[in-house]
A = this chain, B = another copy of it.
């Protein structure tokens, strides 16, 4: 085997992988909604608009063709992992999908999260991390040498969900300032409500909170809103808010929170969004939901053009495309 050819495989003078944009998000981690200034939001949203237009016209492109994403999910979340994978692939990027089995593999041998991150970052340019423990993404980001994008850290944050929620409001209604946003459902435990509320407090909005008494918005969040001068009001009935709401943000009431099932059944019925209820709503408004739903919105509402929840899903992919391209210096 001695006489093997050793012609160089690559002409490395050819081109070089370089950031096109080094301001703003380049090499930054995306950990929490609290890291986004008003300007940051506007910047990401205009990039997201471009991703949406590109996707509709071309389907895919080669913007991130030189980059690799490791998609690391310590718990399955088909919706979120699919969205990130689709986002990266539409930009021509490579994906290492670690969406199953990681808990049976390195982890079962006693490896720490940090060592797993130190290992996987050797293969890629950016890591999307889903982990059941609060603070895990921040911890990973502290040590990692590539940007970490938080795809949910247990009861903690899920910033890309909040960004896609806010983007959907802006995209659908043309603005955020001046809107009346009603949040409906489990406001106590609902992570998406908490994060979106924080983002909305950067805008001039009115917030209405509709929940059973046992599932009201936590005190500290409510006080923060009041301190920020946000117009807020709480109620138990969707009927109280449906007529004026520009946005009806509906969330699932989690059955497992209730000890008394009868109480759950009663509460559940308060909150079903039906075609009849939609008749009372404004002509130009939207219904949103972070999904999955289990009965909070009647299926007949799907045909209503104001039902924005599946367009919201699609926007999630565009938001993730914008974030991936931004942290890699390509947007």
A interface residues (Cβ-Cβ under 8 A, vs B): 1-6, 8-10, 12, 14-17, 21, 23-24, 37, 39-40, 43, 46-47, 50-51, 53-54, 57-61, 63, 65-68, 70, 76-79, 82-83, 85-86, 89-90, 94-102, 104-106, 109-111, 114-116, 118-120, 122-125, 252, 291-294, 299, 302, 310-311, 313-314, 316-317, 325, 330-331
Contacts and interface: CB of A to CB of B under 8 A. Distances in A.
A100 B306 CA distance: 33
A109 B124 CA distance: 32
Contacts of A83: 123
Contacts of A106: 78-79, 291-292
B94 A78 contact: no
Contacts of A40: 1
Nearest to A12: B57
B65 A2 contact: no
6 closest A-B pairs by CB: A59-B66, A111-B292, A122-B314, A76-B101, A86-B123, A89-B94
B96 A86 contact: yes
Contacts of A23: 1, 3-5
A75 to B, nearest CB: 9
Contacts of A102: 76, 78
B1 A86 contact: no
A122 B4 contact: no
A94 B86 contact: yes
A331 B9 contact: yes
Contacts of A124: 86
B115 A291 contact: yes
21 contacts: A4-B39, A4-B43, A6-B46, A9-B325, A10-B58, A58-B66, A59-B68, A68-B89, A70-B82, A76-B105, A78-B102, A79-B105, A79-B119, A82-B96, A85-B97, A99-B100, A99-B101, A109-B294, A110-B294, A111-B291, A111-B294
